[in-house]
Amino acid sequence: MKALRWHGPRDLRLVDLLEPSLRPREVRIRVAYCGICGSDLHEYVDGPHAIPVDCPHPISGRRAPLTLGHEFCGTVVESADPGVAVDARVAIEPEYRCGACDYCLRGQYNRCTSMGFIGLMGDGGMAESVVVPSYTVHPLPDEVGFDQAAALEPAAVALHAVRMSGLQAGDACAVFGMGPVGLLTVAMLRQCGAGDVIAVDVNAKRLAMAGSMGASGAVDASREDSTSAILGATSGRGAAIAFEVAGSQATLDATLGCLRKGGEAMLVGLMGKAQVDIFDTVNRELRLTASVGYRDVFPTLIAWTARGLIDPAAIVTRKVSLRHAVPQGFDALLADKGQVKVLVAPFDADPE
Ligand SMILES: [Zn+2]
Ligand SMILES: [Zn+2]
């Protein structure tokens, strides 16, 4: 089978591999689509960040070189779990969990002490087939297309962040960063009963997409000050909750700055050390919370998609073959911020 493997920064190789045999409670998936994530881009540009190079991951037992891709779906072609049927169409929830640590026993498996992602800490979905633990598999009803199912993973990040926030119906919200997760956060806030949802980015195409995902307002931070724009849009009150999905000091400053007193900054974007004005944070009784990965959201997302309440595929801007995944996928995403989500289709010679 063909697979796109990470060997090092700027070194992704399309290779032919033998299919591994299944261990108990594993299933083999014939991949329909696998999305390219921002974290895959980071690994490509200047990794390793999450990819284990020296020590194998405790659950997958794998280290580099390994196959990228954690946003995928497909058809079960072989199953070593009586609970998973061959031929089932499935989406993958790509979080490894040990099932035995304190967090797993509480059902908080995204906090597992051995937590890791398929496609970063083990072989992933940018391949013709992939072997995954059966607990990661969610059956898809016929109403959910594979292009929608491949975008469920970033939608899961978004919905978990909304659930981790203290969102109340009608709350005015701001979302900073209209990448895939930011755009889907807009859609989840709309679906979960938020009031005004103001999208902030510096790219006009992405802001236009935010409008079609349900944003009530759009702020182009390259043209105007986002803090004052959000204060203006909320009659001077400020946002109840602001989601930081860009991962920069400037957007963190604006995320905190646009909040009303008692408001909540939900941190989703990744960055290293940053500065926070604690004097201001204390005096305005702000809350800083964080969200990582997801738990218990895939079934809800699949049901919402099947009923037409959300469309995760709305973020997809291009589909490419496995053969062209690097130039037309990875490189295109780096060169053009108008590209949002590129899906890799291992079995289509040239899907677009
Ligand atoms: Zn991702
Ligand atoms: Zn665990």
Tokens of 310: 């959300």
CA distances (Å), origin 101, targets 104, 112, 115, 256, 309: 5, 7, 10, 35, 36
CATH code, residues 155-290: 3.40.50.720
What's the 78 CA to ligand 1 centre distance in angstroms? 26
Phi, psi dihedrals of residue 135, rounded to the nearest 5°: -70, -10
Strand (E) positions, the chain? Answer: 2-8, 11-16, 26-35, 66-67, 71-79, 89-92, 95-96, 116-117, 129-133, 137-139, 173-176, 197-201, 217-220, 239-244, 259-267, 287-290, 316-321, 341-345
Q: Distance from the CA of 156 to the center of ligand 1, in angstroms? A: 10
Predicted confidence at residue 351, as pLDDT, reads 64
With a CB cutoff of 8 Å and minimum separation 6, the contacts of 38 are 179, 180
Q: What is the pLDDT of residues 261-280, one digit of tens each?
A: 999 999 999 999 999 999 99
Q: C-alpha dihedral over 129, 69, 184, 339, to 10 degrees?
A: -110
Residue 265: strand, helix, or coil: strand
Contact 34, 150 (CB under 8 A): yes
* Mean pLDDT for the stretch of residues 73-86: 98
Burial of 222 (0-12, 13-18, 19+ CB in 10 A): exposed
Q: How far apart are CA 336 and CA 170, in angstroms?
A: 35
Q: Give the number of other Cβ atoms within 10 Å of residue 58's Cβ.
A: 13
- The answer to whether the beta carbons of residues 12 and 67 sit under 8 Å apart is no
Rounded distance from Cα 98 to ligand 1 centre (Å): 20
Ligand nearest to the Cα of 98, by number = 2
Would you give the DSSP letter of residue 60? T
pLDDT (average), residues 147-171: 98
Question: Which ligand is in closest contact with the Cα of 100?
Answer: 2
Res 320 pLDDT > 80: yes
Centre of ligand 1 to C-alpha 39, Å, is: 6
Phi then psi for 193, rounded to 5 degrees?
90, 20
Determine how many CB atoms are found less than 10 A away from the CB of residue 229: 21
pLDDT, mean of residues 291-298? 98
Instruction: Give 197-217 pLDDT, tens digit per residue.
Output: 999 999 999 999 999 999 999
The whole-angstrom separation of Cα 349 and Cα 340 is: 22
Reported as a pLDDT band with limits 50, 70 and 90, residue 348 is confident
Q: Ligand nearest 36 Cα, by number?
A: 1
Ligand 2 midpoint to CA 106 (Å): 9
**For range 56-76, the mean pLDDT:** 97
pTM exceeds 0.95: yes
Give the Å distance between the CA of 304 and the centre of ligand 1. Answer: 20
With a cut of 90, say whether residue 350 has pLDDT above it. no
Which ligand is in closest contact with the Cα of 35?
Answer: 1
Distance 104 CA to ligand 2 centre (A): 4
Sign of the Cα torsion 105, 108, 109, 112 reads: negative
* Of 1, 10, 118, residue with least CA distance to 71: 118
Q: How confident is the model at residue 195 (pLDDT cuts 50, 70, 90)?
A: very high
Distances (CA, A) of 1 to 16, 31, 224, 326: 5, 11, 50, 18
Q: What is the pLDDT of residues 206-245, one digit of tens each?
A: 999 999 999 999 999 999 999 999 999 999 999 999 999 9
Ligand nearest to the CA of 99: 2
pLDDT band at 352 (very low <50, low <70, confident <90, very high): low
Spacing, Cα 226 to ligand 2 middle (Å): 40
Q: Which ligand is nearest to the CA of 153?
A: 1
| pLDDT tens digits for range 110-157 | 999 999 999 999 999 999 999 999 999 999 999 999 999 999 999 999
Domain ranges of the chain: 2-150+311-345, 155-290
Nearest bound ligand to the CA of residue 39? 1
The pair of three-digit structure tokens given for residue 215, joined into one six-digit string = 């944003």
Ligand 2 geometric centre to CA of 296 (Å): 15
Nearest ligand to the C-alpha atom of residue 97:
2
Class in CATH terms, 2-150+311-345: alpha beta
The whole-number average pLDDT for the span 41-68 is 97
Whether 151 and 313 have beta carbons less than 8 Å apart is answered as yes
Please tell me the predicted confidence (pLDDT) of residue 216.
97
How far is the centre of ligand 2, averaged over its atoms, from the C-alpha of 26 (Å)?
18
